[in-house]
Chains A and B, each alone.
Chain A
């Protein structure tokens, strides 16, 4: 069975067109990026507004008892916020493809459009590729756009204190362009696999969304001072997700056969 890129692109074309007309989904897709961008800007802004507040110093010392006396606690906390927030930011590239892919795979079953589709020459691999592209391309585009807005916003609010652009820094640039797509691939893979097994988009979304929990949990650990985020830390996360991606890819190709998809109804 040959892989025909044209058929995969046809699936991508249709799903993308459908997404553009799905106002409800578009709105729910925009909420998360908005939060991801506005919250850290708000936090940075708070530090910048009262840089000399005594309490800031105690907070900073909680995270780093070796903080030199002369160093600005506000500046330290801004840097820490930016580093920690990247972990949270990764929720977006995982979650947005889950929203899209659950709709596009389980949604096809729910609306009974999958059977005519499977009766066409498209192969399971082409179908998965097209649908994955339709989830990944918008998710990565949204992540990158949010990143740009985030950089601009942070630099504007931090300027009065630091007098130089903080963003984009090496960690974020590498993270957003290399690690985030790996996470997006992961979210998509989970959603595709789960969607192939349940019959409702909502259920697929809810189940897939559980994978966000470990990510949020780790950010919690960072805030609690248990985990110390940094370049190596995120690189390790990326590596783990890369391995998971490979497993998911293997599983999707193995498990998504026509008969199973059709037979899940009724």
Chain B
């Protein structure tokens, strides 16, 4: 079974809930974004999906390997770029890569052409014999990406690949990720950088401890995505009725306002009809259209607590 299937995944550390009720599915060849603010649980999620942390709830499979019990085979098919590049400074670039080839028990003669190919593509060709301690941050990050690729993983998890880089290095790293995407690799990209996610990802999940929204970036951005309805009285009591709709939209209620997430504009009349059917007095129903950043920030605001 290829792809990534995540079902009700959760992780708590003591009584602190880092991730809860997270469900999503990543198709092979897809570039999937996990977008969320600091502390949203992105790293925790990626650590669970790479077998570093045990989920405390739910389950997930990555290329058919259960993350909670198939640790070793799982780690053979995933590549993880950690938040910190985590290279050995005293070793050369070549030695750093060799170490991971050995850990993956690769035939080094066969693995080197691929590594060299990426070194060249990322502008690190000819620097293999230099100790990594002398590399710039951008070079380290790119070398770390090459390291995640030595075993030709089925899926690559990139945890904030451009954080802490200056705009130019960030750009070269982003270009490198775009290259990988263009090769049809499956990539899960964690980020709190909207522009980056927008440029690189096909679909994105906005998370803040739990899933706030998910869909193609262009859908998140554009109209029809949400219908803002004003009703009389507390809007909260209509959530149950809306959940009965065949397309079971995501609903957020605040005072007299309801925000109903829609997959397309055509669902708007159904929402209004449903509300009226449930006895709501509808004052207004406005489709919203806003830039991604606003959608994102609003999602976060509403997802608070």
Asked if A120 is at the interface (CB within 8 A of a chain B CB), the reply is yes
Query: Which residues in window 87-105 of B have CB below 8 A to A?
Result: 87-91, 95, 99-100, 102-105
Q: Can you name the residue of chain B whose Cβ is closest to the Cβ of A21?
A: B90
A13 touches B72 (CB 8 A): no
Q: Can you name the residue of chain A whose Cβ is closest to the Cβ of B84?
A: A112
Give Cα distance in the complex from A17 to B86, angstroms: 17
Do A121 and B89 form a contact, CB below 8 Å, given A116-B82, A262-B53?
Answer: no
| Chain B neighbourhood of A263, CB < 8 A | 13, 53
Do A115 and B91 form a contact, CB below 8 Å, given A4-B105, A10-B99?
Answer: no
Give Cα distance in the complex from A21 to B131, angstroms: 10
Give Cα distance in the complex from A43 to B26, angstroms: 73
Give Cα distance in the complex from A258 to B13, angstroms: 15
Asked if A145 is at the interface (CB within 8 A of a chain B CB), the reply is no
Q: Can you name the residue of chain A whose Cβ is closest to the Cβ of B103?
A: A120
How many A-B residue contacts, CB cutoff 8 Å? 85
Measured as residues with beta carbon below 8 angstroms from the partner, the interface class of chain A is 20 to 34
Asked if A80 is at the interface (CB within 8 A of a chain B CB), the reply is no
A21 touches B91 (CB 8 A): yes
Asked if B185 is at the interface (CB within 8 A of a chain A CB), the reply is no
Q: How far is the CB of B220 from chain A (nearest CB, A)?
A: 30
Q: Mark A223-266, 1 if CB is under 8 A from B, else 0.
A: 00000000000000000000000000000000000110011000
Which of B73-81, B163-171, B233-241, B264-272 faces chain A? B73-81
Q: Can you name the residue of chain B whose Cβ is closest to the Cβ of A19?
A: B90
Q: How far is the CB of B74 from chain A (nearest CB, A)?
A: 9
Choice from A6, A121, A259 contacting B54 with Cβ under 8 Å: A259
A112 touches B103 (CB 8 A): no
B51 touches A14 (CB 8 A): no
Give Cα distance in the complex from A118 to B131, angstroms: 22
| Chain A neighbourhood of B90, CB < 8 A | 18, 21-22
Q: Can you name the residue of chain B whose Cβ is closest to the Cβ of A11?
A: B103
| Chain B neighbourhood of A18, CB < 8 A | 88, 90-91
Q: How far is the CB of B203 from chain A (nearest CB, A)?
A: 24
Choice from A11, A21, A115, A119 contacting B75 with Cβ under 8 Å: A119
Asked if A208 is at the interface (CB within 8 A of a chain B CB), the reply is no
| Chain B neighbourhood of A123, CB < 8 A | 72
B52 touches A119 (CB 8 A): yes
Give Cα distance in the complex from A120 to B103, angstroms: 7
B52 touches A121 (CB 8 A): no
Do A258 and B71 form a contact, CB below 8 Å, given A13-B99, A119-B78?
Answer: yes
Q: Can you name the residue of chain B whose Cβ is closest to the Cβ of A113?
A: B86
A116 touches B144 (CB 8 A): yes
Q: Mark A109-135, 1 if CB is under 8 A from B, else 0.
A: 001111111111111000000000000
| Chain A neighbourhood of B230, CB < 8 A | none
Choice from A1, A14, A111 contacting B86 with Cβ under 8 Å: A111
Q: How far is the CB of A144 from chain B (nearest CB, A)?
A: 26
Q: Can you name the residue of chain A whose Cβ is closest to the Cβ of B73?
A: A121
Q: How far is the CB of A79 from chain B (nearest CB, A)?
A: 45
Asked if A197 is at the interface (CB within 8 A of a chain B CB), the reply is no
Asked if A202 is at the interface (CB within 8 A of a chain B CB), the reply is no
A121 touches B88 (CB 8 A): no
Q: Can you name the residue of chain B whose Cβ is closest to the Cβ of A112?
A: B84
| Chain A neighbourhood of B50, CB < 8 A | 119
| Chain A neighbourhood of B13, CB < 8 A | 263
| Chain B neighbourhood of A121, CB < 8 A | 72, 75-76, 103-105
Q: Mark B29-63, 1 if CB is under 8 A from A, else 0.
A: 00000000000000000010011111000000000
Choice from B87, B102, B131 contacting A7 with Cβ under 8 Å: B102
| Chain A neighbourhood of B53, CB < 8 A | 259, 262-263
Give Cα distance in the complex from A120 to B98, angstroms: 13
Give Cα distance in the complex from A165 to B85, angstroms: 56
Do A258 and B52 form a contact, CB below 8 Å, given A1-B71, A14-B88, A111-B89?
Answer: yes
A1 touches B72 (CB 8 A): yes
Q: A118-B52, A123-B72 are in contact. List 12 more A-B contacts (CB 8 A).
A: A1-B71, A4-B105, A7-B105, A111-B86, A113-B86, A116-B80, A120-B100, A120-B103, A121-B104, A259-B53, A262-B53, A263-B53
A-B contact pairs, 6 of them (CB 8 A): A7-B102, A9-B102, A14-B88, A18-B91, A111-B88, A258-B52
Q: Can you list the 8 inter-chain pairs with the closest CB atoms, starting with the nearest? A: A10-B102, A112-B84, A119-B80, A21-B90, A113-B86, A120-B103, A116-B86, A14-B99
